[in-house]
Structure 1
Amino acid sequence: MSRRFSLTATAAFAASLAAVAAFAPTAAAGPGPLDLTRTTPAPLFQERAQDRLTVTVAHTDSTHADGTYELKCGPTGGTHPEARSACARLDELAGEGKNPFTPVPEGQMCTMQMGGPATARVTGTWQGRSIDATFSHKNGCEISRWQNLVPVLPAARG
């Protein structure tokens, strides 16, 4: 019985030494500090960089929607009147891999409809990218692009 215990203990000790050796610096590395990059576990949660946008809206049908607002996501904050739902919409678009700030491609066929004089400009940082985008209701493509960002931009009234 003691021989079996001795063999089991020796095998366990050898296995633990092998595990330690896998993380220890090699002899070729020479004396110096222990390389902790191999032994440090990855963080359980990656801290998300905060999205910070300035939204300026003008010439809407509602004087309550016109103005300049700060929108912060991750955590939610700022002066945007619908910050929580605006951040949720941006998270939804990011999850779909879509960039709502991309302009309408050059040469894109768009319906020739005028949706009103409303304009908006969004600047700041979203998903680690610098943003400087303009929006309008000057044609069908631009109207669709604006509607895709509601409630970051105010819903069209009409």
Structure 2
Amino acid sequence: MRTHTLAAALVRSGALAAVLGTAAACGGTTVTAPEDGPDTPSAPTTELSIEITYADDPPAEGDTEPKSWTLTCGPAGGDHPDPEAACADLEEVGAEGFEEVPEDQACTFQMGGPEVAEVSGHVGETEVSTEFDKSGGCEIDRYEDMGAVLAP
């Protein structure tokens, strides 16, 4: 599991700017940001890509097909099954919900399920890229703390 920093986001932003600049120099379409005005909608404060898969031994019953959603908050949207509930739960945990469990944290040895969720994007100004699973008490708590974000 890993969490990316703002520095990584800036590197990616710089790479995107270079690609757009090259496209413009080659006669490609140039994309510009609209001028902010009273009628201009603001960018979402949160944008996440969520992909849920199942580890080696998926449950025998229920829907075990991989799921892939986008979630935006501020305003709530995307193709997430319940963006309003997910945004409310995300507001409660904030960007801290994406932090990894410290290595010295005492956790129970139990298996909570085969679900594995890859989440990337940003929550406010914080870039996030992490994995959630249910392989131990602390990881189960971390997964469940995300509420409707991962389990609509």
Give the TM interval when normalised to the shorter protein.
0.5 to 0.7
Q: Tell me, in whole angstroms, the C-alpha distance in 1 between the residues paired with 2:116 and 2:50.
A: 11
Q: CA RMSD in A?
A: 2.0
Q: Which residue, out of 26, 30, 45, partners 1:50? A: 45
Overall identity of the aligned pairs, in %: 35
Q: Tell me, in whole angstroms, the C-alpha distance in 2 between the residues paired with 1:74 and 1:135.
A: 24
Shift of 1:71: 0.1
Shift of 1:50: 2.1
Larger Rg: 1
The aligned residue for residue 138 of structure 2 is: 141
Q: Tell me, in whole angstroms, the C-alpha distance in 2 between the residues paired with 1:103 and 1:127.
A: 18
- What are the within-5 Å matches in structure 2 for residues 5-154 of structure 1? 50-59=45-54, 61=59, 62-63=62-63, 66-94=66-94, 99-154=96-151
The answer on whether the counterparts of 1:65 and 1:154 sit within 8 Å (CA) in structure 2 is: no
TM-score by length of 2: 0.63
Q: Tell me, in whole angstroms, the C-alpha distance in 2 between the residues paired with 1:136 and 1:81.
A: 20
Shift of 1:49: 5.1
The aligned residue for residue 26 of structure 1 is: none
For each residue in 1:109-158, what CA deviation from the matched residue of structure 2 results, as whole angstroms up to 9, or x when unmatched?
A: 11000112110011001021110010111100000000100110117xxx
The answer on whether the counterparts of 2:93 and 2:145 sit within 8 Å (CA) in structure 1 is: no
List gaps (5 residues or longer) in structure 1. 1-46
The aligned residue for residue 18 of structure 1 is: none
The aligned residue for residue 15 of structure 2 is: none
List gaps (5 residues or longer) in structure 2. 1-41
Q: Tell me, in whole angstroms, the C-alpha distance in 2 between the residues paired with 1:123 and 1:101.
A: 10
The answer on whether the counterparts of 1:49 and 1:128 sit within 8 Å (CA) in structure 2 is: no
TM-score by length of 1: 0.61
Matched to 1:135, the amino acid is: F
Where 1:69 maps in the other structure, the secondary structure is strand
Shift of 1:107: 1.8
Matched to 2:104, the amino acid is: G
Matched to 2:49, the amino acid is: T
Q: Tell me, in whole angstroms, the C-alpha distance in 1 between the residues paired with 2:145 and 2:65.
A: 17
Q: Tell me, in whole angstroms, the C-alpha distance in 2 between the residues paired with 1:66 and 1:86.
A: 19
Q: Tell me, in whole angstroms, the C-alpha distance in 2 between the residues paired with 1:154 and 1:65.
A: 14
